[in-house]
Chain A
Amino acid sequence: MPMEKIIALTINGQREEGAFPPHRTLLEALRGLGHVDVKSGCEKGDCGACAVLVDGVAIDSCLTLAWTVEGQEITTVSGLGDLAEPHPLQAAFADSGGVQCGYCTPGMIIAAKALIDRNPEPSEDDIRLDLSGNLCRCTGYTKIFEAVRTAATTMRAHGGKA
């Protein structure tokens, strides 16, 4: 029987520990620690609802074993901002109506954050490419892409910072 191991993760700037067996995915670990802003969708890398940043790179947490990201910086959508101080992406998704049921939104915002950090002035094609691993079954993407464009513009106006 494989042993559990105590794994330390830095989640949204806070160090947290949990005891996990080898097969525990990062998605399961995060939700088990109370980070339920990370959503579980298809659990096979198609939908992107579980996306988080690991050291700034967007990955599907359902395809990542918790042991393999020990010591790395994990950012979930809650780590970007909150209702009082939303990140420009969070504000733009709300303002443009890029949210209907909301289930895909955390992953969409994480994928968009990784895009804008790498490419502050993304074209329409860049946005489509970087959001190609995030499925929305409500809005049809138009307002989601609009939100990403708006947020990128806001962030450029603030010197690339949130």
Chain B
Amino acid sequence: MYAEFELDIPDSLDGALGIMAAGAAKGVTPLAGGTNLIVDMRAGRERPVRVVGLGKIDELRGIVCDGDRISVGGRTTVADLLYSPEIAAAGPSLVEAARLFAGQMVRNAATVGGNIACGSPAADLVPPLLSLDAEVTLVNGSGTRSVPLDEYFLGYKRDLRGQDELITRVSWRRPVERSANAFYKLARRKGDAITVTGVAVTLSAEGERCSRARIALGAVAPVVMRAKRAEALLEGETLGFAAIDAAARQAAEECQPIDDVRASAGYRRHAVEALVRRLLTQTRDRLI
């Protein structure tokens, strides 16, 4: 690899934040699993002057269930999610996304924080996290802020993380009400493939009525997006075929896919409708 940069590998979060603050003006990039960043640096798409390796900061890795809140450290790997009984209970859609994520060696290295920070509309962990109403916690030398994941992405590969900030954790409330969630990744293969269309849904129900609906769509807009008008067609309604079908059509209506090397916009829009209908039906059948 021909890219040249300074590399620091601090052993504490404070150490990392100090380096991030000092390097913010000139361009500093955090390095977690490296499964995107190293590839982008080799291709010349990323040219950081300074790189901060996070591999020795153990406090950034781990899954904690505190009361009704699930908190996942930013440097927690995709494989950590895949093997976690806590995540299996608190977000099965996230386990499914972890299972279909790249290949095993990449799952062993790639991190939750990195998958969010890369800002890709095809990032596979983001639709399940978005459908779980996850929050992102950002820390710099002067403080901590938490933002809804729904507000985190500003545009294609643009996010609101400051140059001196690190994603330290992602957290969400474990639903206390009756709730079910699911994820489907449409791609050429089950392994080692980039998503053509990813759909995650979370439904909560009171009786047969939908009390909360979340529909998150990957790789069909500049950012991973929620189909909020489709969600609104479900909330308060009886979870039957009519409401589900209307929501599926609406989700296809409000996504913004493009033609690219993997699929046409028309195919993606069709996939959104079919997958939203399928996943809503599956989750509905688990609840009612």
Q: Which residues of A contact B190 (CB under 8 A)?
A: 128, 132
Which stretch, B84-92, B100-108, B239-247, touches the partner chain A? B100-108
| Chain A 12-25 interface 0/1 with B at a Cβ cutoff of 8 Å (1 = within) | 00000000011111
- Total cross-chain contacts (CB, 8 A): 101
Query: Residue B238 at the A interface, CB < 8 A?
Result: no
Which stretch, B31-39, B169-177, B251-259, touches the partner chain A? B31-39
| Chain B 37-67 interface 0/1 with A at a Cβ cutoff of 8 Å (1 = within) | 0110110000000010101000000000000
Query: Residue A57 at the B interface, CB < 8 A?
Result: yes
| Chain A 127-144 interface 0/1 with B at a Cβ cutoff of 8 Å (1 = within) | 011111111000000000
Query: Residue A59 at the B interface, CB < 8 A?
Result: yes
Counting chain A CB atoms within 10 Å of each CB, which of B104, B105, B109, B190 scores highest?
A: B105
| Interface size in chain B (residues, C-beta < 8 A) | 31
Cα-based distance from A62 to B41 in the complex (angstroms): 12
Q: In B210-250, which residues have CB < 8 Å from any A CB?
A: none
| Interface size in chain A (residues, C-beta < 8 A) | 35
Known: A2-B4, A133-B106. A63 touches B55 (CB 8 A): no
Query: Residue A51 at the B interface, CB < 8 A?
Result: yes
* Pairwise interchain contact A63-B38, C-beta atoms closer than 8 A: yes
Cα-based distance from A23 to B103 in the complex (angstroms): 24
Cα-based distance from A44 to B33 in the complex (angstroms): 13
* Pairwise interchain contact B1-A25, C-beta atoms closer than 8 A: yes
Residue on B nearest A46 in the bound complex, by CB:
B192
Query: Residue A48 at the B interface, CB < 8 A?
Result: yes
Query: Residue A30 at the B interface, CB < 8 A?
Result: no
Query: Residue A58 at the B interface, CB < 8 A?
Result: yes
Q: Which residues of A contact B260 (CB under 8 A)?
A: none
* Pairwise interchain contact B105-A23, C-beta atoms closer than 8 A: no
Q: In A1-33, which residues have CB < 8 Å from any B CB?
A: 1-2, 21-25, 28
Query: Residue B263 at the A interface, CB < 8 A?
Result: no
Q: Which residues of A contact B108 (CB under 8 A)?
A: 57-59
Chain B interface residues (CB < 8 Å from chain A): 1-7, 9, 31, 33-35, 38-39, 41-42, 51, 53, 55, 99, 102-109, 190-192
**Closest 4 interchain pairs by CB?**
A133-B103, A132-B191, A22-B7, A60-B105
Return 15 A-B CB contacts under 8 Å, by A number: A23-B7, A25-B38, A43-B42, A45-B39, A45-B105, A60-B35, A62-B38, A65-B7, A65-B31, A128-B190, A132-B102, A132-B192, A133-B106, A134-B103, A134-B104
